[in-house]
Amino acid sequence: MPIIIKIIKFIVDLFFLPFVIIFSFIARFKNKSIDIGLGPEPLINNIFHKKALKLYGYSAETFVNSVYYITDDFDIRADLIFKGLFKAIINHYLFLYSIFKYKCIYIYFNGGPLGFTSFLWKIEPFLYKIAKVKTVVMPYGGDVQEMSRSHNLLFKHVMSKDYPRHKFRRKLIEKKIDLWSRYATHIIGGCEWVDYMYYWDTLMLAHFSIDTNEWKMESNYVIPNKYTKERPLRVLHAPNHKEIKGTKYFIRAIDELKAEGYPIELILVEKIPNYQIKEIMKEVDVIADQLIVGWYAMFAIESMSMGKLVLCYIREDLEEFYTASGLLEKNELPLIKCSPLNIKEVLTRILDNAEELRIYENKSKNYVAKHHSIQSVGLVFDYINTSIGIKKSSKENEIMRN
């Protein structure tokens, strides 16, 4: 970051320092109109988390400081309010908005709105405590990936390829993990994020939720009895980080199989909105998720919900951990486990046995319904909210528990 921008951010923070403290005390005595605020990171899972919370009777609102190409479907977009030089106060505005509006905020280890300031992030947990706003903190990836804590050497290697500047954030990530682990109201752990965390109140396989009514198998999709040149095995890969997803290994394996005469097609898409990805997924047979990280995330969940066969690298130690902790049953994961070393052999097996896709269709859908539907994740959120004293302000959308 250029030094002039750092200086400007520091001056803006210095100006707002007395205001955020004073207004935090004022907000302490104000009734908040919405139960849960989700933000300020523009992550698509917040949209589904909002649905999960509303199903269980909570009022909820998403708020963001910017948007990505994936989706812009958020309730409060500060980037539409502030333009030009006024962008410098987006996060200060969102913080003040949040302490008067929400009883609780669901955020990530980057922090709330002040997590994007020069130094106010250091006191943000205490300001929320002063304002009587509960904080539920969960990871999503880059916010906790302090790579010196990872034992996955290949992951360390590709991180340096995709994000060479990530090394400069290591100390800041470490400090924020410590800050929120100590002072958040509630911490959620899961995925491979547990490598970097040293504490959580609630453990999940991954907090990602999905509306299974929106993501479902198309009735006109047909799995062939045999793949041919006219109807090849269609493999979709949609990397947002090519090195981290292991894209080159998928490409190499499929190129080699095509050269050997196998009927297989790779559909590679990048940086397109989520609704477009969904349309492409309807027409493919296999989803090539990732071969490096060691656990699955949102793309794999969307794919499984649609009954697709998903190729993914799953670390044995993580699977054993989640099985031992009681979150997984033995051999429950409905994924085709693979790695950079055996991806070609796995694809060959699928090409020789189209029936394998049918086996995974119902298994995948049932797994998502059990662990990642808005109903199942909403149940966990309901437990968390109840445990920290958040009372529901709305009953109209609450679902039947059974």
Average confidence (pLDDT) over 36-61: 96
| Contact assessment for residue 187 and residue 200, using Cβ atoms and an 8 Å cutoff | yes
Residues in the chain, overall count: 402
CA-closest candidate to residue 238, choices 304, 305, 288, 177:
288
Reported as a pLDDT band with limits 50, 70 and 90, residue 401 is very low
Establish how many alpha carbons lie within 13 A of residue 7's alpha carbon, considering only the half-sphere containing its beta carbon. 3
Beta strands in 219-368 (DSSP E): 233-237, 264-268, 286-290, 309-312, 336-337
Secondary structure letter of residue 373 according to DSSP = B
Distance CA 228, CA 231 (A): 5
Average confidence (pLDDT) over 327-352: 95
CA-closest candidate to residue 109, choices 212, 51, 40:
40
Torsion of CA 253, 258, 262, 265, to 10 degrees: 80
Average confidence (pLDDT) over 257-285: 92
Q: Which residue has the higher pLDDT, 272 or 320?
A: 320
Distance CA 243, CA 236 (A): 16
Q: What type of residue sits at position 299?
A: F
Reported as a pLDDT band with limits 50, 70 and 90, residue 397 is very low
Distance CA 94, CA 97 (A): 5
Reported as a pLDDT band with limits 50, 70 and 90, residue 46 is very high
Q: What is the pLDDT of residue 395?
A: 55
Q: What is the pLDDT of residue 208?
A: 96
- Quote the pTM value: 0.93
pLDDT beyond 60 at 184: yes
Average confidence (pLDDT) over 174-188: 98
Cβ-in-10-Å burial (0-12, 13-18, 19+) of 39 comes to buried
Lowest mean pLDDT among 208-222, 309-323, 360-374: 208-222
Handedness of CA 142, 144, 147, 151 (dihedral sign): negative
CA-closest candidate to residue 75, choices 50, 93, 54:
50
Distance CA 269, CA 239 (A): 7
Distance CA 1, CA 121 (A): 17
Q: What is the pLDDT of residue 339?
A: 97
Average confidence (pLDDT) over 145-166: 91
Helices (H) and strands (E) in the chain, counts: 14, 12
